[in-house]
Amino acid sequence: MNLRWILLPLALAACQKPAADTGPPPLAGARIGGPFSLTDQDGRTVTDRSFAGKYRLMYFGYTFCPDVCPTDMAAIAAGLKQVAADAPATAAKVVPIFVTVDPERDTPAVLKQFTAAFSPHPVGLTGSPAAIDAVKKAYGVYAAKGAATPGGGYMVDHSRQAYLMGPDNRPVALVPQDQGPKAVAATVEQWVK
C-alpha cells in the first residue's frame, strides 16, 4: 500500500480547526433571566415568549450613554455580522436585544433610532420603571441614575454585561462585547447550536 494514502488523511486532519468545547455552557444552571413584558422600538408589547426558539443576545444600557453603550453595541453588531458571513444559519438563530436601563428617556422612538444606527437587527426594549426594574433584577443588572449634568441631563451608572440566552430562555454564556467583534463572534459560534 502506498504510504502517501495513509498519511494524507492524517495531514488533512491536522489542518482542520480544533473542535469547539462541547462541555456544558458556562452559565448552565445560573439563575439569570426570567419572564418579562416590555415595549419594543415599534411600540409593540413584547414578552420573553416572543423570542421562543431563538437565542437572544441580551445587552443592557441606555441611548444617552456617551461612550460604553455605543461601543458595545457596535462590537455586538459587527460580531453578529461576522457570524452571518461565516455561518449564516447560526446567525439566523440569534436575536440581538438592547434593554434600556433609562426608561424615562428611552422611548420606543428613541430606541428605534439608536438600534438602527448599528444594524437593522437589534430589538430595542423599554417599559415602565417598574417593568425595567423587574427585568434588571431578573438578569442581575445594576443601574442607578447619577447626578444631574450641566444642561439638566444625567448619566446612568450601570453594569456592563451581555448574556447569550438559549431558545429555552436559560442563560448560556456571557458575551465578551468589551473584547471586540471577534470575541462576540467566537462566543456566538461556540454556543449557538
The pLDDT score that the predictor gives to residue 12 is 37
On average, the pLDDT of the chain sits at 90
Three state DSSP letters for the chain: CCHHHHHHHHHHHHHCCCCCCCCCCCCCCCCCCCCCEEEECCCCEEEHHHHCCCEEEEEEECCCCCCHHHHHHHHHHHHHHHHHHHCHHHHCCEEEEEEECCCCCCCHHHHHHHHHCCCCCCEEEECCHHHHHHHHHHCCCCEEEEEECCCCCEEEEECCCEEEECCCCCEEEECCHHHCHHHHHHHHHHHCC
| pLDDT tens per residue across span 89-105 | 999 999 999 999 999 99
The pLDDT score that the predictor gives to residue 76 is 98
Structural domains in the chain, CATH included, are 35-144+154-191 (3.40.30.10)
The pLDDT score that the predictor gives to residue 22 is 66
Query: Would you place residue 147 in the very low, low, confident or very high pLDDT band (cuts 50, 70, 90)?
Result: confident
Query: Would you place residue 20 in the very low, low, confident or very high pLDDT band (cuts 50, 70, 90)?
Result: low
What's the whole-number mean pLDDT along residues 158-164?
A: 95
The pLDDT score that the predictor gives to residue 130 is 97
Query: Would you place residue 1 in the very low, low, confident or very high pLDDT band (cuts 50, 70, 90)?
Result: very low
| pLDDT tens per residue across span 45-91 | 999 999 999 999 999 999 999 999 999 999 999 999 999 999 999 99
Q: Is 16 a residue whose pLDDT tops 50? A: no
pTM (2 d.p.): 0.87
The pLDDT score that the predictor gives to residue 120 is 92
